[in-house]
Structure 1
Amino acid sequence: MINASGIGTVLQNLLPYLKPLFKLTLLGNPEELKKYEWAADLKVIRFNKPIYSVGEQLALPLLVPHCDFFLSPHFNVPMLPVKAKKRVVLIHDLFHLAANNISSVHKLYAKALLQSAINRSDSIVTISEFSLSEMRRLLKTGSKTIHKISLGVDKSVFYKRQDSSLEAKVIQKYNIPSNYILFVGNVKPHKNLRNLIIAFQKIDFSRFTDLKLVIVGKKEGFITGDITLLHLIKELGLQDRVLFTGFVDSEHLPLIYNLATLFVFPSLYEGFGLPPLEAMATGCPTVVSAAASIPEVCQDASLYFDGTNPEDIASTINLALQDNDLRETLILKGHQLVDQYTWKNSAMALQNIILHQ
């Protein structure tokens, strides 16, 4: 899971801070894990079973060594006993149960795993009040305590950069335009790119003649995630205004945030939602959906819209584009807000939960 979007980001940032606090043993691909400097001297037990598979469930009880704590960073917990004194699970969201586009079979299996995670874990941790409330709503949690930690932003990576040579390289490599709205995220339908595309067509292009929409992600993935999206772009005549970057190197992503006029996050379901905070850290103003955990995380540092309403998305984007003072206020509030979100604080909170369960 170390290279997965979302959970991978959490692991890559939490584990370096957990390393001095615990004697860590990792389950995973040693070749992948040893690429990270912080993992070079850690013991890694080779584990390569597909996630959510029967093979995963059969292998985990055999491979988890005798230990004080077994931390599952996702809800695919072992349903059979393991050789750990205590079990801790980190559940990011309940998307697999809440989504309308997941088959009933997949929902049943996800619910079985999630309920097993609740029942078998000594400590249950989530990442927002929204996810906590979703767990209470969709699972049988009884009187179990559910702890909450916040995620973080690495400000040594995400900051406003002044590097003209790197800027020129990034602009050329990804064909970045001079004036653009940015979306960063995965390809799943709940990210709500369809409504963003419809809203973008309603932007006042007579005033913002050179404005483009840059979508960070693989174009092929978008075909899989929402098969109608590219057809919609063509139907609306936006082929020359919507740019898919393809894969972006992690070292280049902060600068793409940095160069954007505005960051837009139309997602309808998030357990936390890191991209708006990453944008804020680089000095990019943010307009976001008023759904799920997003208002809880972004507080008063973003401008909000109804993600189900393309007209409202468009009018909010137009407002932010037209008002320079508003964008400067959002930038200032964003900088102040991201100071509250650090991975060190996340790790310390998790340590406290683990040791005092």
Structure 2
Amino acid sequence: MPVGSYELNVSMSCKSFDRYRSVRTGPGYDIFHSTYYRLPVERSCSVVTTVHDYTYERYSSGLRRVVHSWQKNKAIKGSDKIICVSESTRRDLLEFSGLRADDNVVVIHNGVSDAYYPLEDVSLGPQVLFVGARAGYKNFTNAVLALEGLSGVKLLCVGGGQFDADELDMLERIVPGRYSHAGYLTNEQLNLEYNRSICLVYPSLYEGFGIPVLEAMRAGCPVVAVNSSSIPEVAGDAAILLECGEVEEMRSAIEFFCVTDNRSDFVGRGRIQAEKFSWDETFNKTLAVYEELLGQKIWN
């Protein structure tokens, strides 16, 4: 694409069906930026790779982990510049990749969409929100158990697929009649649910970044999360961060947000924290990486 008097061609690859294959770009590209660990077949340009997390390395095993880690490390070692979405991911990269130095690694945080914001005339409901996948390290079972003793408080899950048979059995035993699954929601619909909820319960034990934390804060919904991986980096002092995501501490945090003054305090903190993250800033810092590789200013 023309930028001033200089023409910059950027080939972007993303996760797809053939995500394990190298990419044939053809001639004329200045930068190849992969967001899912792919490399160009013919090395004729600078290569940038974005590393999101180390979930596979920490929580998977067997062939699945071996293949993923092989591809990721191949991309890392074949890149001129590596972007990590958090300091936590950067530390994981140094731990798992075998790199001895991180001179070519830069941290560029994700942003948060301006589609999330406080709504006027929306009544707060007796519900807590759980967003995203629910298996394993996402700590969903403890979130359900935390609601067991909070009569009248409902659980709304968004994303992560429909409840399976084991989840339905657990929900019926622990919070019968107090749970629902919203399926896929648009940004507008999810923003409404953030505005309706007492809090977002996001008890994941590991995240490369954790965008729902910022979405909730931007929408004026307090957050309960776990003080691990990237979460404290993203949440700052604007969320209740649990020591290890156990049931009792999660239940106490939800009860804390059932008090109006407590909730209002963290709503204000959350809005300030969310303002520190934007996609415009992500764009500007990514552009700076391109300009460093090219040795030339390409955007005014």
Same fold (TM over 0.5): yes
> How far is 1:25 from its partner?
4.6
Q: Which has the higher helix share?
A: 1
Between stretches 277-286 and 64-73, larger displacement belongs to: 64-73
Aligned residue in 2 for 1:350: 286
CA RMSD in angstroms, aligned pairs only: 2.4
The answer for unaligned runs of 5 or more in structure 2 is: 1-6, 294-300
Question: Which 4+ runs in 1 deviate beyond 3 A?
Answer: 21-28, 47-50, 63-66
Total equivalences in the alignment? 286
**C-alpha distance in 2, partners of 1:231/1:70?**
48
**C-alpha distance in 2, partners of 1:307/1:242?**
24
> How far is 1:230 from its partner?
2.0
Relative to structure 1, is the Cα distance of residues 179 and 22 closer, same or farther in structure 2, using a 3 angstrom cutoff? farther
> How far is 1:320 from its partner?
2.1
Aligned residue in 1 for 2:29: 67
Relative to structure 1, is the Cα distance of residues 347 and 234 closer, same or farther in structure 2, using a 3 angstrom cutoff? same
After TM superposition, the structure 1 = structure 2 runs for residues 137-152 of structure 1, keeping only pairs within 5 Å, are 137-145=95-103, 146-152=105-111
Aligned residue in 2 for 1:134: 92
Offset from partner CA, 1:200-236 (integer Å, 9 cap, x none): 1132x2xxx3x2111112653x42xxx6322211222
Aligned residue in 2 for 1:229: 167
| 1:131 alignment partner AA | T
The answer for unaligned runs of 5 or more in structure 1 is: 1-20, 29-46, 172-176
1:325 aligns with 2:261: yes
Q: Decide which of 299, 321, 332 is 2:236's aligned counterpart.
A: 299
Offset from partner CA, 1:181-210 (integer Å, 9 cap, x none): 11111244222111111111132x2xxx3x
> How far is 1:326 from its partner?
1.6
1:260 aligns with 2:200: no
Offset from partner CA, 1:319-340 (integer Å, 9 cap, x none): 222x322211101111111111
User: When the two structures are superposed, what TM-score results if normalisation uses the length of structure 1?
Assistant: 0.74
| 2:185 alignment partner AA | V
User: When the two structures are superposed, what TM-score results if normalisation uses the length of structure 2?
Assistant: 0.87
1:116 aligns with 2:52: no
| 2:226 alignment partner AA | S
Relative to structure 1, is the Cα distance of residues 251 and 320 closer, same or farther in structure 2, using a 3 angstrom cutoff? closer
CA contact (8 A) 2:108 2:282 kept: yes
CA contact (8 A) 1:267 1:307 kept: no
The percentage of counterpart residues that share the same residue type is 26
**C-alpha distance in 2, partners of 1:233/1:22?**
53
After TM superposition, the structure 1 = structure 2 runs for residues 209-248 of structure 1, keeping only pairs within 5 Å, are 209=152, 211-217=153-159, 219-220=161-162, 222-223=163-164, 228-236=166-174, 238-248=175-185
Aligned residue in 1 for 2:3: none
| 1:94 alignment partner AA | Y
**C-alpha distance in 1, partners of 2:16/2:235?**
36
Relative to structure 1, is the Cα distance of residues 23 and 120 closer, same or farther in structure 2, using a 3 angstrom cutoff? closer
